[in-house]
Amino acid sequence: MKAWFVESVVDTGRLPLFFLLVSFLLAFLFIRFSVRMIRAEVSWWPGNVTPGGMHIHHMVFGLIMMLVSGFAFIALADYQTPVANCVLASVFGIGSALVLDEYALVLHLRDVYWAEEGRSSIDAVFVAIAIVLLFLFGVHPIGFVGDFNPYEQDRSIGTLIGIIITLLIALAIAMITLLKGKLWTGLIGLFFPPLLIVGAIRLSRPGAPWARSRYRDKPTKMSRAVAREQRVREPLIRAKIRFQEHVSGRFGLPEADPVNPTTVSPAPVDLPNAPQSWRLSDALRWRRTRRRLRTVPVWRVPVLLIFAAIVLAEVLNNVDSWILDLSGPTAIDVSMDINATATLLSVIAGGMITLTGLVFTAITLAMQFGASQISVRVVPMLAQQRVMRWSIGMFLATFVYSIFVVIDLALDNQSSAPQLSANMALLLALISAILFLALVSKVGSILNSSRLLTWIAAEGRSAIVRAYPRYDESSPKTLPDAPIAVDPPSLNGETGDLLVVRLRHLSPDGRVLLAINLPRLQRLASSWGVSIEVVPGIGEFVAQNAPLFEVRGRSLKVRPDALTSCLIFGDTHSPLAGPAAAIQSIVDISLKALSPAINDPGRAVQALDHIEDLLVLLAPRVRADTETSTLTRIRGQQRTWTDYVSIATDEIRHFSTNSAQVQRRLRAVFTTLIAACPPDQHAPLFERLDAMDQQLTREWTGDLDIRLAGAADPQGLGSEAGASGRVHPLIVGRPAAR
Same domain, 40 and 113: yes
Which of residues 428 and 527 earns the better pLDDT score? Answer: 428
Query: Cα–Cα distance between 133 and 615 in angstroms, integer?
Result: 62
Same domain, 427 and 525: no
Same domain, 349 and 206: no
- Residue 336, phi then psi, degrees to nearest 5: -75, 160
127-162 burial string, b = 16+ CB within 10 Å, else e?
A: bbbebbebbbeeeebbeeeeeeeebeeeeeeeeeee
pLDDT at 23: 93
Asked if residue 278 has pLDDT above 70, the reply is: no
| Nearest in space to 200 (alpha carbons), one of 185, 217, 218, 216 | 185
Query: Cα–Cα distance between 354 and 359 in angstroms, integer?
Result: 9
Q: Tell me the mean pLDDT in the region 213-241.
A: 74
Question: Does residue 724 lie in a domain region?
Answer: no
Q: Provide the residue type at 545 as one letter.
A: N
Same domain, 635 and 552: yes
DSSP alpha helices (H): ranges in 480-517?
A: none
Q: Tell me the mean pLDDT in the region 43-47.
A: 79
pLDDT at 92: 93
- pLDDT tens track for 177-194: 888 888 878 888 888 888
Length of the chain in terms of residues written = 738
> What is the enclosing helix (H) or strand (E) of 307?
helix 300-327
Distances (CA, A) of 319 to 312, 349, 411: 10, 22, 16
Most confident of 61-65, 324-328, 442-446: 61-65
Same domain, 234 and 326: no
Least confident of 32-41, 371-380, 551-560, 627-636: 627-636
- pLDDT tens track for 394-413: 999 999 999 988 888 877 66
Same domain, 394 and 525: no
- pLDDT tens track for 439-465: 888 777 767 777 778 878 887 888 787
Question: Does residue 411 lie in a domain region?
Answer: yes
Would the CA dihedral through 570, 576, 578, 580 be positive or negative? positive
Asked if residue 4 has pLDDT above 90, the reply is: no
Which of residues 416 and 73 earns the better pLDDT score? Answer: 73
Mean pLDDT of the chain: 77
Asked if residue 492 has pLDDT above 50, the reply is: no
Same domain, 502 and 402: no
pLDDT at 736: 53
Same domain, 332 and 242: no
Which segments of 110-211 are extended strands (E)? none
Same domain, 214 and 308: no
Opening angle at CA 499, ends 495 and 503, nearest 5: 155
pLDDT at 326: 63
Question: Does residue 29 lie in a domain region?
Answer: yes
**If phi over 0 gives left and psi between -120 and 50 gives alpha, with beta otherwise, what is residue 305?**
alpha
Query: Cα–Cα distance between 51 and 58 in angstroms, integer?
Result: 13
- pLDDT tens track for 125-139: 888 888 888 888 878
Question: Does residue 344 lie in a domain region?
Answer: yes
- pLDDT tens track for 295-309: 677 788 888 999 999
pLDDT at 518: 81
Task: Give 534's strand partners.
Answer: 549, 636
Question: Does residue 606 lie in a domain region?
Answer: yes
Same domain, 223 and 151: yes
Least confident of 165-179, 422-436, 506-520: 506-520
Q: Tell me the mean pLDDT in the region 586-609.
A: 86
**If phi over 0 gives left and psi between -120 and 50 gives alpha, with beta otherwise, what is residue 549?**
beta
Task: Give 547's strand partners.
Answer: 502
Question: Does residue 714 lie in a domain region?
Answer: no
Residue 430 confidence class, pLDDT cut points 50, 70, 90: very high
Same domain, 211 and 342: no
- pLDDT tens track for 243-273: 777 777 766 544 333 333 333 333 333 444 4
| CA trace torsion 633, 637, 642, 648 (10° rounding) | -140
Residue 478 confidence class, pLDDT cut points 50, 70, 90: very low
In total, how many domains does the chain have? 3
Which of residues 242 and 255 earns the better pLDDT score? Answer: 242
pLDDT at 400: 92
Query: Alpha-carbon Rg of the chain, whole angstroms?
Result: 35
- Residue 468, phi then psi, degrees to nearest 5: -130, 75
Query: Cα–Cα distance between 172 and 168 in angstroms, integer?
Result: 6
Least confident of 94-108, 482-496, 503-517, 624-638: 482-496
pLDDT at 332: 42
Same domain, 233 and 314: no
Question: Does residue 719 lie in a domain region?
Answer: no
Query: Cα–Cα distance between 617 and 628 in angstroms, integer?
Result: 18
Question: Does residue 729 lie in a domain region?
Answer: no
Residue 68 confidence class, pLDDT cut points 50, 70, 90: very high
- pLDDT tens track for 712-738: 777 776 666 666 655 555 556 565 554
Which of 210, 232, 248 delimits the end of a domain? 248
Which of 606, 625, 644 delimits the end of a domain? 644
Residue 681 half-sphere exposure toward CB, CA atoms < 13 A: 29
Exposed, middle or buried: residue 503 (CB in 10 Å: 0-12, 13-18, 19+)? buried
Which of 609, 644, 679 delimits the end of a domain? 644
* Residue 569 burial (CB count, 10 A): 22
What order do you get walking across the sheet with 547-552 strand by strand?
Answer: 498-502, 547-552, 531-534, 634-636
Query: Cα–Cα distance between 410 and 711 in angstroms, integer?
Result: 77
Least confident of 282-286, 551-555, 558-562, 595-599: 282-286
Asked if residue 479 has pLDDT above 60, the reply is: no
Q: Tell me the mean pLDDT in the region 486-510.
A: 62
- pLDDT tens track for 602-619: 888 888 999 998 999 888
β-strands 531-534, 547-552 pairing: antiparallel
Helix (H, G, I), strand (E, B) or coil at 516: strand
Q: Which domain holds residue 586?
A: 498-644
pLDDT at 330: 44
Distances (CA, A) of 643 to 1, 137, 573, 638, 676: 70, 66, 16, 9, 18
